[in-house]
Amino acid sequence: MKKVAVGATVICAAAVCAATALVVRQRMKRSGNWVKAMEILKEMEEKSGTPLRKLRQVADAMTVEMHAGLASEGGSQLKMLISYVDNLPTGDEHGLFYALDLGGTNFRVLRVRLGGREQRVVKQEFEEVSIPPELMTGTSAQLFDYIAEALAKFVATEGDGLHPAPHRQRELGFTFSFPVKQTSIASGTLIRWTKGFKIDDAVAQDVVAELTRAMERKGLDMRVAALVNDTVGTLAGGRYDDPDVIAAVILGTGTNAAYVERAHAIPKWHGPLPNSGEMVINMEWGNFCSSHLPSTEYDMALDAESLNPGEQIYEKMISGMYLGEIVRRVLYRMAREAAFFGDVIPEKLERQFALRTPDMSAMHHDASPDLKVVASKLKDALGISNTSLKMRKMIVELCDIVATRGARIAAAGIFGIIKKLGRDTVKEGEKQKTVIALDGGLYEHYTRFRECLEKTIKELLGKEAAETIVIEHSNDGSGIGAALLAASHSQYLEATYES
């Protein structure tokens, strides 16, 4: 009996030892996995570093590319497109003007009554219309007929005080946010479609002529006075509110910048110099690329797997389309190499763009003690549950690394524009104010991104120069801006200002 008892004791002891060893091994494994995950995070932090020295190099590279793009067509990664906008709104504009804002699966039609310097925008109305999916891949006539019909219906709702002056044709500003080769203030040929559109017979056609023919078919007597993209529209809207606005930047799903250049500083401009002596340049700065940008393996993989590899490198590091995806790629590596979320990689985590930038922003801004917003977003977006507080804190840190890098190199780009215009230093005895208009969902809604960007611009400028630079939010510039540009390029301009 004693032998049996001793045997049982030995077996129990062995089992306890085995269980203890298993627990120890699991703890060691978990500890090893945590160390690996931390290594991945720290490596990302180091490679995403943006010391002022590096940011100044990025800004200088931006300025060099700006000069090259102004010198000749195809001379730079930056297209530096001549917008043909040489008269920005002054605040003196009077009358009724329309705008059409086409940039995605919806379009907006707007009606604005301008009352000059005293009354400014007297009244504004708009309507948003969805584009049926079949029209996004149909014919040019089908798409523009649909738009013209919606515009005609909107015109038919003109109320009291919202009619054009007698014997005057209605005038429209057309915001068309697709790649266009502009040939005048009111003409431009479509280079290619983006954002899910594929209408082959519209490519290489003048989009203003296409819209005009459609309006004629619908019996709508309206003239397109200005063709602009959303960034130029934002600049116009900003200038209307503040005469010191010299540039506009969009930071949303995508990104772009436009600014006011001295006409004589554009070597590739061969026409007569405009009376204003100025020309708005659409930089198309999303395509900027430099060896000084703090690129990582995640950026390179994202670019290689994108629809446009080798293009829009800057945009892929700073815009709302991509920030959340960069975070997802780092988390996926942690899951793969450090079993960060357990032995099985969550299926949703493997899907490209499963983590959107609004989700990343919500996690980054989570101020709850247990980071419950982080837990909720991980579960909903990536199918990850049962995370520890320690893990959630690491994920917030990762969001901070990616957002900070994006905001700081975006600030470097803005600083590059300021340098190009010679406004990065304060000239003795000269009172100078420079205003940059910013718009876009990323800038407007991602608070920490916005705060970091504005703080970085001040760091780059230094205290004295920073006091002369103002960042202003220009809300809905692409809509009202197009109507304002229709006003500032009206065929009735002199009569308008005399009335």
* DSSP state at residue 131: P
Question: Which residue of the set 83, 177, 290, 490 is catalytic?
Answer: 177
Distances (CA, A) of 356 to 8, 317, 335, 351: 58, 14, 18, 11
- How far apart, in whole angstroms, are the C-alpha atoms of residue 325 and residue 33? 23
State the Cα–Cα distance between residues 190 and 178, nearest whole angstrom.
Answer: 7
* Cβ pair 89, 483 in contact under 8 A: no
Enumerate the β-bridge partners of residue 438: 249, 473
First CA to last CA distance, the chain: 118
Query: CA 231 → CA 178, 238, 372, 486, distances in Å?
Result: 12, 10, 37, 15
User: Annotated catalytic residue: which of 86, 145, 230, 424?
Assistant: 230
The answer to whether residues 288 and 313 touch, using CB atoms and an 8 Å cutoff, is: yes
Residue 434 dihedral angles phi and psi, to the nearest 5°: -125, 125
439: annotated active-site residue: no
CA distance 288 to 310: 11
Q: Which residue has the tokens 């703090």?
A: 294
Q: What angle do CA 309, 256, 112 make, to 5 degrees?
A: 135
- Type of residue at 4: V
**192 part of the active site:** yes
Count of C-beta atoms within a 10 Å radius of residue 212: 21
Torsions phi, psi for 99 (to 5 deg): -140, 145
Q: Residue 65 and residue 78: Cα distance in Å, rounded?
A: 6
Exposed / middle / buried, residue 14 (Cβ in 10 Å: 0-12, 13-18, 19+): exposed
User: Where would I find the beta strands (DSSP E) of 27-157?
Assistant: 81-82, 94-102, 106-115, 121-130
Residue 177 is a catalytic residue: yes
Kindly report the backbone phi and psi dihedral angles of residue 262, in degrees, each rounded to the nearest multiple of 5, phi listed first.
-70, 130
**What 3 state SS string does 311-322 have?**
CCCCHHHHCCCC
Distance (Å, rounded) from C-alpha 418 to C-alpha 334?
Answer: 40
* Cβ pair 224, 212 in contact under 8 A: yes
Tokens for 332, please give them: 């996926």
Tokens coding 450: 């916005």
Rg, Å, the chain Cα set: 28
From 27, 192, 217, 336, the catalytic residue: 192
Active site residues: 177, 192, 230
